[in-house]
Structure 1
Amino acid sequence: MNDLQALPARETGDASPDTRQRILEAAFNCLVARGYAALSVRDIAKDAGVNHALISYYFGGKDRLVIAVLDDANRKLLERQQHLHEEPVGFAEKWAMARRFYQSDLSSGFVRVQAELWAASLSNVELREQFLPRIQAWKQLVLNGVRDAFQAYQVDLPAVFSAEAIATLLSEFWLGMEFSQLIGAHGETARHDATLDAIEVLLRTLDARTAPAASKPKGQRQVKRTRSRP
């Protein structure tokens, strides 16, 4: 008799959202506390208060479980970021809000969970195939925000400074900053903060330049066209 056959009927019936969510939360906490390499299905089950066989029943194994953990957190945070982009405020204020969100995500453990799965993906091909589309979703969100800024600012830049190029700079800088902070390179924090501050100052300058045009009646606006559109 296998473990699932030995479980009470109430634990092997249809997937219970409450049980599934308890497993996800326990796995998230274990990833934050111990990391992927030390992640134990039995420890997760113990923390969730369920039989360890239920993890296979609900998720099919450790790697599928950690991707489900990432998806559960990603869904909420991507929705939060999408709402941020839709806020009727300047891009500098959106940038400042994104920085506050980052500090919250760092404190909650989400940044650690994402980094753990990124590192594990280097040697785990199956995990990597599942992880990459999730990180690409974040990069796409950054690209969408930069495209919105290009459209709003109408700045005249050389063609090489495309929305894609700037979004890549922002995304890769941010990811590098996350890894640096997670491994304890606190000596670099001041430089990171200075860079984030500089971008915010630039955005505030551009916001101020576009504000007068935005306040004019539509027919009176004089819009400066870019040589390159995203």
Structure 2
Amino acid sequence: MSTRTLILEATRRRLVEQGYANLNVRDIASDAGVNHALIGYHFRGKQQLVLAVLDEANTRLLERQAGMYAAPTPASQKWQQAREFYEEDLASGFVKLLMELMAASFHDEVLRSEFTPRLLAWQKLIEGAVDEFLAGSGLELPVSGRAISAWITWFWIGMEASMALGIPEKQGHQHEALEALALLLRQAEAPQTPRNRKRT
């Protein structure tokens, strides 16, 4: 395993377990079994180090999600797949990693300028999926696909934050909300029947 990979893995573990505020280069070097000077050699500062950790997962997961959206399956099935992916990302620590870097970005302008485009890449991906769904469904809605994608994106972010905080289902109703949207998608996909048809 390369020195860079050892450093990234050690940093990821520290981020998920102890948070960005407690991240210490010497601790990471000790965990990775390398001289701390090598972290400065491979990465230009703490921000670039944590962004490299994020990119290692974020790029792969965006590609995974894009492949899922491109599949010729109904939107309700894609939503269910996205839910399963989310459970995987929660278990792997990726969700907590994302939340840690978001929180750190509020007070770190350098980190925020780099983190925000990576977060918005998810919104752009969802916007494309929503536009494709609307075009294929024939639904005529009084709102834009852009607005719907924003609802979905920021709903997910809020839900991820609530679950990372440990807010249980009986208080947060996260899974209930996810299932409610799945139900709406299934109804939208169902064949439409004329209403109030006059009898002859």
CA contact (8 A) 2:19 2:100 kept: yes
Q: What's the CA shift for 1:208? A: 2.8
Distance 1:195 1:69 in 2: 31
Equivalent residue of 1:37, what SS? helix
Amino acid at match of 1:102: Y
Does the C-alpha gap of structure 1 residues 194 and 122 become closer, same or farther in structure 2, counting only changes over 3 Å?
same
Alignment partner, residue 88 of structure 1: 72
Does the C-alpha gap of structure 1 residues 26 and 153 become closer, same or farther in structure 2, counting only changes over 3 Å?
same
Matches within 5 A, 1:1-230: 18-158=2-142, 161-187=143-169, 191-209=173-191
CA contact (8 A) 1:32 1:113 kept: yes
Instruction: Name structure 1 gaps, 5 residues minimum.
Output: 1-16, 211-230
Q: What's the CA shift for 1:185? A: 1.6
Instruction: Name structure 2 gaps, 5 residues minimum.
Output: 193-200
Distance 1:163 1:28 in 2: 35
Amino acid at match of 1:62: K
Distance 2:120 2:31 in 1: 31
Count of matched residue pairs: 192
CA contact (8 A) 1:23 1:48 kept: yes
Distance 2:127 2:189 in 1: 19
CA contact (8 A) 1:181 1:189 kept: no
Larger gyration radius, structure 1 or structure 2? 1
Distance 2:170 2:24 in 1: 33
The CA RMSD over aligned residues, in Å, is: 1.4
Q: What's the CA shift for 1:112? A: 0.5
Structure 2 length-normalised TM:
0.92
Q: What's the CA shift for 1:206? A: 2.2
